[in-house]
Amino acid sequence: MTLRVGILGATGAVGQKFVELLDGHPAFEIAALAASERSAGKPYREAANWVGSTEMPEAVAEMEVVACEPGLGCDLVFSGLDASAAGEIERAFAEAGVPVISNARNHRMDPAVPLLIPEVNPDHAALVERQGTPGWIVTNPNCSTVGLVMALKPLVDAFGVEAVSVVTMQALSGAGYPGVSSLDALANVVPYIGGEEEKMAAEPLKILGALDGDAIRPAEIAISAQCNRVPVLDGHLECVSVRLREPVSADAVADALASFESPVAGLDLPSAPARPIRVFDDERFPQPRRHALAGGGMQVSVGRVRACPVIGPAGRGFKFVVLSHNTIRGAAGGAILNAELLLAQGRLTAPVVAG
């Protein structure tokens, strides 16, 4: 079954990544490109200042951009809208009977909205049944949260995690386009990203929490985050320290990460990497330029697993480095994987209700 999909915010950086990744997708066909009123009515090739890593797909180049309003004739929509506009628009689509897979932050912490990473909490998708609208909203996490949670999940399951300290080095593409001024970005590090540290402290607790009836019981983990913008194009690198609940060895931590098996592996989701996490032995790795695109940009890379006596006593304190692709795994690719999971679960169906 092929579903007709719309992209909200299609001319922006995340919207363009949706276009790029959905080109030729076996289950989803782009049927509508929606953006602001200033872009509506123009062919996509004129409305979008294309910044993709490949040429603009021919199939969408002449497609007319329309307004971000229900009535697109789609079975679902992907939202790459900026948070300043996303909240009300996404809610309007859900109320019109259209499923929304969102990259925006507006609804992430709503109690009835799944904050979803398929390899971590696929059961949380059941929350959509509690939203009380003909359609529903599902969100993916902040781009820096994704890599952190993917690395924490195997440790939470195997040993329990009490506390986390994370320092991020986040790529410039995470700021969208035009993003960070060149005078701020070149040969420099900006030690502040608005709202980022708060998201990293809150979002993992919902994602790693347990579905208890019709609500999420948050995980009990103390998280401290410091976020920096660095002059790297793609790939968020994170230095993570964890205090475990049980004493183990560094080798056991590395083995838990390397042997992690995705709970959705048997569903054959097209965007899911064959190996969710790769652990490097080489102390120089992972590096954004070399490894951000591993697994089509959907694999999370981990390296430098070793003891950290500062965060915890012997056998319980460890530190490592995590790398994930911020615009693929942490944005459009993650949202598409969410849609693939929802389709496999039978929560996405055709024909369109009110698209």
311, pLDDT greater than 90: yes
Question: What is the predicted pLDDT for the residue at 353?
Answer: 46
Query: For 192-222, what is each residue's pLDDT tens digit?
Result: 999 999 999 999 999 999 999 889 999 999 9
For residue 101, the tally of other CB atoms under 10 A from its CB is 27
105, pLDDT greater than 90: yes
Same domain? For 271 and 230 the reply is: yes
Same domain? For 234 and 314 the reply is: yes
Give residue 354's pLDDT band: very low, low, confident or very high (50, 70, 90): very low
SS3 breakdown of the chain: % helix, strand, coil, rounded to 5?
A: 30, 25, 45
Domain membership flag for residue 351: no
Separation CA 77–CA 91 (nearest Å): 12
Which residue among 124, 236, 291, 325 is the active-site one? 236
Query: For 59-90, what is each residue's pLDDT tens digit?
Result: 999 999 999 999 999 999 999 999 999 999 99
Domain membership flag for residue 352: no
Same domain? For 138 and 198 the reply is: no
Same domain? For 8 and 55 the reply is: yes
Terminal CA-to-CA distance of the chain, rounded, Å?
A: 17
User: What is the length of the chain?
Assistant: 355
Domain membership flag for residue 63: yes
Question: What is the predicted pLDDT for the residue at 351?
Answer: 56
Same domain? For 76 and 130 the reply is: yes
Same domain? For 106 and 147 the reply is: no
State how far the alpha carbon of 304 is from the alpha carbons of 59, 170, 280, in Å. Answer: 43, 19, 7
- What total number of domains does the chain contain? 2
Which residue among 68, 74, 143, 227 is the active-site one? 143
Question: What is the predicted pLDDT for the residue at 213?
Answer: 87
Instruction: Give me the domain span that covers residue 194.
Output: 143-324
Domain membership flag for residue 154: yes
Question: What is the predicted pLDDT for the residue at 115?
Answer: 98
Catalytic annotation on 143? Answer: yes
Same domain? For 157 and 306 the reply is: yes
Same domain? For 107 and 174 the reply is: no
Same domain? For 278 and 196 the reply is: yes
Packing angle between helix 196-207 and helix 143-158, nearest 10 degrees?
A: 40
Same domain? For 64 and 181 the reply is: no
Query: For 222-231, what is each residue's pLDDT tens digit?
Result: 999 999 999 9
90, with CB counted inside 10 A (0-12, 13-18, 19+), is: buried
Domain membership flag for residue 150: yes
CATH code for position 56: 3.40.50.720
Question: What is the predicted pLDDT for the residue at 52?
Answer: 85
Same domain? For 177 and 54 the reply is: no
Separation CA 85–CA 68 (nearest Å): 10
Question: What is the predicted pLDDT for the residue at 349?
Answer: 83
Query: For 247-301, what is each residue's pLDDT tens digit?
Result: 999 999 999 999 999 999 999 999 999 999 999 999 999 999 999 999 999 999 9
Question: What is the predicted pLDDT for the residue at 148?
Answer: 98
Question: What is the predicted pLDDT for the residue at 164?
Answer: 98
Task: Return the percentage of the chain with pLDDT > 70, whole number.
Answer: 98
Query: For 314-342, what is each residue's pLDDT tens digit?
Result: 899 999 999 999 999 999 999 999 999 99
Domain membership flag for residue 355: no
Same domain? For 193 and 147 the reply is: yes
CATH code for position 290: 3.30.360.10
Question: What is the predicted pLDDT for the residue at 214?
Answer: 86
Q: Tokens in use for 49?
A: 């200042």
Domain membership flag for residue 353: no
